[in-house]
């Protein structure tokens, strides 16, 4: 075998609002939409998956097509069809199979690809397949993501949002219908793929999910913003994913859906800036505001993984820089003239699980000032991962920074980077723009999650 750079086990829904992204995702945001109808694309992913193991894109495609009951198109053919996903407008979407360079999306009308040995031994692979099957049944992931988006809009913005039943674009995204009901924007969301990905056979397995969002202006019927998103969980041994009736798989599926929903809210309605490596604010290696776990935290972030800070209590005092570092982009944080009393901070603390962030155990929204003492006891002798962001308003409209993390670049391996994209305004409709490796692939930019290596940590006594 010529290589094992990427090994995938994919689950997919193939009814995409995909597009062919080009350029870079740092254009201006769409206009302000204060009443949003949220429509999840209908369809439930099946539970089959295929393992793909090769460094050759042709081998990726061959392995993927073994599991397709309805056939696949080549990367060239897919690229030729992609523009029609946008051209269809609000009246419909072209349903196309994804085949991004280097990784085929697996269709699930029928068939099972026999290359799943790339994930692990056959017995282990069967257990993973059964676990995902069980976890998906009744999960209602598309509607759960739509509900999470509506909840985020209600929680962090003054805007109105309402979810509608899953449906195809043809029947559900008719602009006149939503305009008559007082909506000025329609947000179509779709979970496009999810499954397991592996770096080592039987070990280092992660759960991934990809999704797409499409914001349509009710008056014009044209898309004004596009987002392709991806979530990758921490890496764990295969046995952890199947243990306790797949508890970890269920937890991560829900977390993936919530995380991508939150990122859609941040990007489209909180105008959270995306910064590429090279922006002057990232010279300090921090996205957003710098977390400072008292009393021993350094007042800066060094390169690489940040060591856990030793705090002096199970109710530690957590502090943070008042503002992000100065940025080349004026919209990258609160204006310098904005008084500190107009800034509010959101705090999250996660308990360590298998050397990565596990359960969210402490959360506060809207904190005033640059410090907070944890109000409920954490566990003794335990490592925690934590993050902070600042929210504020500009001309009465809500804004937020990225959740704090280090700015070290990461990749989506083994997922192809093309699954992540953004857009910029054009004359008639939004134009998709792609994220560029490596400068865009940080938690400050195109990554829609914080990789384990990019978290800030503290350790209780």
What does the angle CA 276 – CA 443 – CA 302 come to, to the nearest 5 degrees?
85
C-alpha 109 chain-centroid distance: 26
pLDDT reported for residue 95: 23
Contact 412, 420 (CB under 8 A): yes
| Domains contained in the chain, number | 2
Residue the block writes with tokens 């909506």: 183
Mean pLDDT of 453-459: 96
Residue 310 pLDDT class (50, 70, 90 cuts): very high
pLDDT reported for residue 119: 56
In a domain, 253, yes or no: yes
Residue 171 pLDDT class (50, 70, 90 cuts): very low
% of the chain exceeding 70 in pLDDT: 72
Mean pLDDT of 87-92: 28
**Which residues form the domain of 19?**
7-269
300: domain CATH number? 2.60.40.10
Same domain, residue pair 55 and 162: yes
pLDDT reported for residue 63: 27
In a domain, 131, yes or no: yes
pLDDT at residue 140 above 80?
yes
pLDDT reported for residue 328: 63
133: domain CATH number? 3.30.160.150
Residue 72 pLDDT class (50, 70, 90 cuts): very low
Instruction: List residues bridging with 225 in a β-sheet.
Output: 215
pLDDT reported for residue 284: 84
Q: Pick the residue with more confidence: 29 or 428?
A: 428
Q: Of 269, 303, 329, which closes a domain? A: 269
Mean pLDDT of 386-392: 97
In tens, the pLDDT along 152-161 reads 999 999 999 9
pLDDT reported for residue 426: 74
Residue the block writes with tokens 């001309």: 395
The CA dihedral of 322, 324, 326, 332, to the nearest 10 degrees, is -130
pLDDT at residue 285 above 70?
yes
pLDDT reported for residue 199: 77
Same domain, residue pair 304 and 207: no
DSSP state of 430: -
pLDDT reported for residue 104: 26
Same domain, residue pair 287 and 261: no
- Of the given ranges (263-267, 385-389, 399-403, 411-415), which has the lowest mean pLDDT? 411-415
Instruction: List residues bridging with 342 in a β-sheet.
Output: none
Same domain, residue pair 264 and 133: yes
Residue 202 pLDDT class (50, 70, 90 cuts): low
Per-residue tokens: 92? 């419909």
pLDDT reported for residue 331: 67
Same domain, residue pair 159 and 44: yes
pLDDT reported for residue 269: 96
In tens, the pLDDT along 330-382 reads 667 898 899 999 999 999 999 999 999 999 999 999 999 999 999 999 999 99
The overall average pLDDT reported for the chain is: 76
């Amino acid at each position: 075998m010529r290589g094992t750079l990427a090994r995938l086990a994919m689950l997919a829904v193939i009814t995409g609002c995909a597009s062919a992204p080009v350029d870079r995702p740092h254009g201006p945001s769409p206009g302000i939409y204060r009443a949003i109808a949220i429509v999840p694309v209908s369809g439930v992913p099946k539970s089959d998956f295929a393992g793909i193991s090769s460094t050759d894109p042709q081998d990726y495609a061959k392995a993927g097509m073994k599991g397709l009951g309805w056939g696949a198109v080549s990367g060239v053919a897919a690229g030729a069809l992609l523009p029609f996903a946008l051209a269809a407008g609000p009246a419909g979407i072209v349903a196309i199979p994804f085949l991004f360079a280097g990784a085929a999306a697996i269709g699930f009308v029928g068939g099972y690809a026999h290359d799943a040995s790339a994930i692990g031994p056959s017995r282990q692979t069967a257990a993973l397949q059964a676990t995902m099957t069980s976890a998906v049944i009744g999960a209602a992931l598309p509607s759960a993501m739509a509900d999470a988006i509506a909840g985020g809009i209600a929680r962090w913005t003054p805007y109105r949002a309402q979810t509608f039943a899953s449906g195809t674009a043809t029947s559900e995204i008719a602009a006149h219908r939503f305009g008559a009901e007082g909506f000025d924007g329609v947000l179509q969301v779709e979970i496009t793929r999810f499954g397991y990905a592996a770096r080592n056979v039987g070990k280092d397995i992660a759960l991934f999910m990809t999704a797409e969002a499409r914001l349509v202006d009710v008056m014009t019927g044209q898309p004004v913003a596009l987002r392709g998103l991806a979530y990758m969980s921490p890496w764990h041994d295969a046995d952890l994913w199947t243990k306790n009736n797949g508890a970890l798989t269920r937890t991560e599926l829900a977390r993936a859906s919530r995380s991508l929903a939150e990122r859609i809210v941040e990007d489209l309605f909180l105008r959270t800036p995306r910064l590429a490596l090279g922006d002057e604010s990232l010279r300090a290696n921090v996205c957003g505001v710098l977390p400072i776990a008292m009393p021993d935290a350094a007042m800066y972030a060094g390169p690489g993984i940040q060591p856990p800070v030793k705090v002096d209590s199970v109710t530690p005092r957590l502090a943070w820089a008042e503002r992000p570092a100065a940025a080349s982009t004026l919209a990258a944080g609160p204006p310098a003239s904005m008084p500190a009393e107009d800034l509010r901070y959101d705090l999250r603390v996660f308990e360590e699980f298998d050397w990565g962030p596990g359960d969210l155990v402490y959360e506060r929204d809207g904190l005033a000032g640059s410090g907070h003492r944890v109000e409920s006891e954490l566990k003794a002798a335990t490592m925690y991962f934590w993050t902070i962001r600042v929210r504020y308003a500009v001309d009465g409209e809500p804004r937020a920074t990225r959740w704090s993390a280090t700015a070290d670049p990461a990749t989506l391996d083994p997922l192809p980077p093309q699954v992540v994209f953004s857009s910029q305004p054009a004359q008639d409709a939004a134009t998709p723009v792609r994220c560029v490796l490596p400068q865009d692939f940080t938690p400050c930019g195109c990554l829609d999650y914080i990789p384990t290596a990019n978290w800030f940590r503290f350790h209780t006594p």
